[in-house]
């Protein structure tokens, strides 16, 4: 079992990481594309993958937000 406050902290940490990771990856992508000289079609594939990743990350964050609301609204102190 895990205490409510600890679980809330872990979920908030996961939300924070979801939010911060995509901009970091996109920054690295721009730098990598510049330095390694990928072909245009390969650059598009990589960019499309990151757009998909960003979209999924936003979905993950929403799921975590909903979970956090349920936990905060629960009278339970351990899960």
Beta bridge partners of 78: 3
CB 71: neighbour CB atoms within 10 A? 15
Q: Give, to the nearest 10 degrees, the angle between helix 4-36 and helix 40-73.
A: 170
CA angle 60, 64, 69 (to 5 degrees): 150
For each successive 10 residues of the chain (79 residues), what is the average pLDDT?
A: 96 92 79 77 84 86 95 95
Q: What is the pTM of this model?
A: 0.75
pLDDT at 66: 97
- For residue 49 the two structure tokens come to 């993958």
């Amino acid at each position: 079992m895990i205490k409510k406050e600890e679980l809330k902290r872990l979920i908030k940490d996961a939300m924070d990481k979801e939010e911060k990771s995509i901009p970091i990856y996109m920054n690295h992508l721009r730098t990598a594309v510049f330095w390694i000289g990928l072909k245009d079609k390969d650059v598009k594939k990589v960019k499309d993958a990151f757009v998909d990743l960003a979209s999924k990350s936003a979905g993950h964050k929403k799921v975590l937000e909903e979970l956090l609301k349920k936990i905060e609204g629960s009278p339970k102190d351990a899960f």
